[in-house]
Structure 1
């Protein structure tokens, strides 16, 4: 089914559009993180990296409601083309940031990319049930997630190379603009379909639409509970990705190559877990493995906490990738990150497929938008709480915070088993 979908005109345009956009998003984000981590010093690295994640996520809190209304009220393919046109201009700002080596411009571009990602989310996930059969949804979602995280892998590597000046600024600028144009070109191949709710009134007050969507989601327990589980996953991912780079650098002295490899392990793991989730589903939408996957995330977060605990002796020079991958601690960290990501893919793909299948067709994009708002609120709250716990007021180290996050996933697994899996089994 994977290869059949990739060859299908119903799916291929969206797949490549998402892949290219995700590459650009993560190139800019990792370029910022690498510049902060390796050029501005370790003293402010944790808070500044967390700030970058928060800036990217923040638009989803306020704009997802508007995004859902736009996607339901208009042809989703047309909305995608509007957004990819805007992305070209945002990438021009990012290109200027690279050319002038300006962190403020890169932060502005990151906010713009976060805005486009927030508006595009209901389009891409609402598109899938419109054009795929129900038994194709797990595979379609898995491919979108795999494409996203494969793009993250390439974006992370490219961002690290650009920050390390391995690529000349001119080449980076050309790359940013070419891929932004290619994403727009891919959007031209997304098949159109009549609007799901053509008479829908778009709220001018984005806070009103946001509040209404959250209330409607809460009223539909069969959607709200899986939505809460999905939001927990994204909060876990956002916090883990802000903690691990600093923890690894502190514990091993790893340089830019190590940072890129660690992020690559996570991206590959998410892709592998997403594809495995679809393969295990065999075309069915079932949530019985979600608690097991949450326990798996808890285990690997605990393993990462143990493997990064303790401050290493000062390093006279950065640990190379070869040294990292041949050390016991490096192997343990790499395996922990890959395992965490595989469990994350196994966790989120069936949950999101269930939400798509259960949502009413004329409300599907707005339902997904409401879940995206929840995701953003969870990620922002998690990032702010993490930043506060990292501050001098509490002084929690990154390994301790990873351990606490693992304990949180144990609680999440127990809640999902009780509130979703067992409750839904009784109603069948």
Structure 2
């Protein structure tokens, strides 16, 4: 994990990380300090019931995300994002001044106004922090950068929440809360001064100040890219799922575990550490690329450990007084609860980090900030709907453990729905499992695969698993041209059919299908997609590279695009190869974690990619190992 932590030493990332960390810390310091203060000293400030005050504070903080996210997205596309980051920190300093005035005047209205303005300031900064990452980080750094941002955000939320509660209870004069917040805001501004310039993609954009019409426009634009929009829905679902669990911790601790405030803090800390750990592990598990195969893996864990939390929740621990933390930790069932919460956090990190990176890489640069603004709007909407749904369910008599179990089952249903609409997630999961659980893949030169624009990938064909492995290694989706007979294979046929593979037959077997395949290739390349072909025309029977057929020449004659040669090695003799004459006869015939390799060469211009040249390049890349 040294790669992603190395970003903390880079000027193009470290100031942004510090700015975001301190901003999230300050938001939660002030918000929680205010809630604690009003909870235990409500009579000194207002006649509004304590229960209503807590919800009012939460609602005021989240309201700007509905009202101003669309405007913030436009501003982030129109103006330099580094300048906007500094502006947001200046606003934070002013807002802390408003809070100080509220404490000085003993005015609840001023304090709630400061809380609303903090939400507005966070709304302004939201599109900046995610849209700026692709401008300052390389593609192979995006996962690590997003992981650090997510881990840092959750840790800062935890520390800020704890610090706010401690500060509210420890100081005799509430003014010190505003002083502390002001000091953090000034430090955050200092960090923001170091963020490198991030020129706007649409400097001539005419800002629409109508929040309703612009919100609708942002959501409609995001929905134009199906994969991006479903990723946004997945992110929003995670925030609903996570917020639902977090909101129940106090009542769950009191009414199920029989604990007190320290136990609530422990649950929050365990959950937060889990998300941070899962986020940071994403870079290592994804090989520094945007690996959306981790998303289904994350959703599986969220469901399994959410269900286990329902079954693990103990019965009969609640007494007349709260148990001490040490007493609770002596009970084995409590450790199972803590483990479940830790793993929900870890798998939540696996789930959300690749989705954020996918939204950044697949969104048009000119509209990236506005798409992220649409994401923020839907995040807030989902969390509100989740809170209302949980309140209704609990009000109808549902227990908190049962609520956790139902949420876990709903998570499984949402996952199946999304993966059914975009099979690429499931395909990348299969590829990720194949190269992690069956093989040990070592790849070189993957950076030669273009991140944008059309290209043809040419590789040797050693086994039935070749296409899946290449799809998993590619940073972009690949549509392979494949023998139509492979679609009859039960599992592989399902995978290839749902990832847009193009079936082809020989002129002798089915000339109409052959012509349809070449037409499909031309359409895909015209749309800027990657096409993958195996020029040998079939899986090798002896492990050697066979002569290349002329189909690639016909493709390039009609579509002069770059050609990327690549070669797989180490797959000959595997379960999916034809070393025994027929593939898939002897499972694990070479054991688990057998080493395989992928080497990718520099792209060739279409006029240079003749059959002899391509054959020689692929053979050289493969080397002596079959």
Q: TM-score, normalised by structure 1?
A: 0.90
Counterpart residue number, 1:141: 146
2:136 counterpart of 1:131: yes
Q: How much has 1:343 moved relative to structure 2?
A: 0.9
Structure 1 residues 160 and 327 mapped into 2: Cα distance closer, same or farther (>3 Å)? farther
Q: How much has 1:181 moved relative to structure 2?
A: 1.0
Q: How much has 1:111 moved relative to structure 2?
A: 2.5
Structure 1 residues 378 and 149 mapped into 2: Cα distance closer, same or farther (>3 Å)? same
Instruction: Return the alpha-carbon distance in structure 2 between the equivalents of residues 320 and 161 of structure 1.
Output: 19
Deviates more, 1:299-308 or 1:92-101: 92-101
2:306 counterpart of 1:301: yes
2:376 counterpart of 1:372: yes
Q: How much has 1:309 moved relative to structure 2?
A: 5.8
Instruction: Return the alpha-carbon distance in structure 2 between the equivalents of residues 422 and 302 of structure 1.
Output: 22
Q: How much has 1:89 moved relative to structure 2?
A: 2.6
Q: How does 1:254-293 map to 2 (within 5 A)?
A: 254-293=259-298
SS of the residue 2:291 aligns to: coil
Instruction: Return the alpha-carbon distance in structure 2 between the equivalents of residues 167 and 336 of structure 1.
Output: 39
Contact 1:50/1:242, CA 8 A, preserved across alignment: no
Q: How much has 1:100 moved relative to structure 2?
A: 8.5
Q: How does 1:51-70 map to 2 (within 5 A)?
A: 52-70=57-75
Contact 2:30/2:177, CA 8 A, preserved across alignment: no
Given candidates 182, 186, 203, the residue that maps to 1:181 is 186
Q: How much has 1:107 moved relative to structure 2?
A: 4.4
Counterpart residue number, 2:474: none
Counterpart residue number, 2:353: 349
SS of the residue 1:17 aligns to: helix
Structure 1 residues 98 and 385 mapped into 2: Cα distance closer, same or farther (>3 Å)? farther
Counterpart residue number, 1:25: 27
Structure 1 residues 80 and 89 mapped into 2: Cα distance closer, same or farther (>3 Å)? same
Counterpart residue number, 1:405: 407
Instruction: Return the alpha-carbon distance in structure 2 between the equivalents of residues 26 and 113 of structure 1.
Output: 10
Contact 1:46/1:246, CA 8 A, preserved across alignment: no
Counterpart residue number, 2:390: 386
SS of the residue 2:293 aligns to: coil
Counterpart residue number, 2:606: none
Q: How much has 1:123 moved relative to structure 2?
A: 0.4
Deviations 1:317-343 (A, max 9, x none): x43333333333432332222111111
Alignment coverage as a number of residue pairs: 422
2:8 counterpart of 1:3: no
Deviates more, 1:348-357 or 1:292-301: 292-301
Contact 2:275/2:345, CA 8 A, preserved across alignment: yes
Counterpart residue number, 1:196: 201
Instruction: Return the alpha-carbon distance in structure 2 between the equivalents of residues 243 and 46 of structure 1.
Output: 15
Instruction: Return the alpha-carbon distance in structure 2 between the equivalents of residues 137 and 377 of structure 1.
Output: 27
**Higher normalized contact order (CA 8 Å, seq sep 6+, divided by chain length):** 1
Which segments of 5 or more consecutive residues in structure 2 lack a partner in the other structure? 43-48, 428-476, 478-497, 501-529, 531-626
Deviations 1:379-404 (A, max 9, x none): 1111222223333xx23332222221
SS of the residue 1:192 aligns to: coil
Given candidates 353, 359, 366, the residue that maps to 1:362 is 366
Q: How much has 1:257 moved relative to structure 2?
A: 2.1
Deviates more, 1:159-168 or 1:273-282: 159-168
Instruction: Return the alpha-carbon distance in structure 2 between the equivalents of residues 38 and 81 of structure 1.
Output: 36
Instruction: Return the alpha-carbon distance in structure 2 between the equivalents of residues 255 and 166 of structure 1.
Output: 22
Contact 1:59/1:118, CA 8 A, preserved across alignment: yes
Counterpart residue number, 2:324: 320
Counterpart residue number, 1:231: 236
Counterpart residue number, 2:418: 416
Instruction: Return the alpha-carbon distance in structure 1 between the equivalents of residues 329 and 114 of structure 2.
Output: 34
What RMSD, in angstroms, separates the aligned Cα atoms of the two structures? 2.7
Counterpart residue number, 2:499: 426
Instruction: Return the alpha-carbon distance in structure 2 between the equivalents of residues 276 and 94 of structure 1.
Output: 39
Instruction: Return the alpha-carbon distance in structure 1 between the equivalents of residues 105 and 256 of structure 2.
Output: 33
Rg comparison, structure with higher value: 2
Structure number with the higher strand fraction is 2
Structure 1 residues 190 and 396 mapped into 2: Cα distance closer, same or farther (>3 Å)? same
Counterpart residue number, 1:84: 89
Counterpart residue number, 1:243: 248
SS of the residue 2:222 aligns to: helix
Q: How much has 1:311 moved relative to structure 2?
A: 6.5
Q: How much has 1:225 moved relative to structure 2?
A: 1.3
Deviates more, 1:248-257 or 1:192-201: 248-257
Contact 1:160/1:256, CA 8 A, preserved across alignment: no
SS of the residue 1:426 aligns to: coil
Counterpart residue number, 1:16: 18
Contact 2:143/2:357, CA 8 A, preserved across alignment: yes
Structure number with the higher helix fraction is 1
Q: How much has 1:35 moved relative to structure 2?
A: 5.9
Contact 1:160/1:260, CA 8 A, preserved across alignment: no
Contact 2:33/2:177, CA 8 A, preserved across alignment: no
Which segments of 5 or more consecutive residues in structure 1 lack a partner in the other structure? none
SS of the residue 1:199 aligns to: coil
Contact 2:297/2:350, CA 8 A, preserved across alignment: no
Structure 1 residues 271 and 246 mapped into 2: Cα distance closer, same or farther (>3 Å)? same
Q: TM-score, normalised by structure 2?
A: 0.63
Contact 2:4/2:141, CA 8 A, preserved across alignment: no
SS of the residue 2:320 aligns to: coil
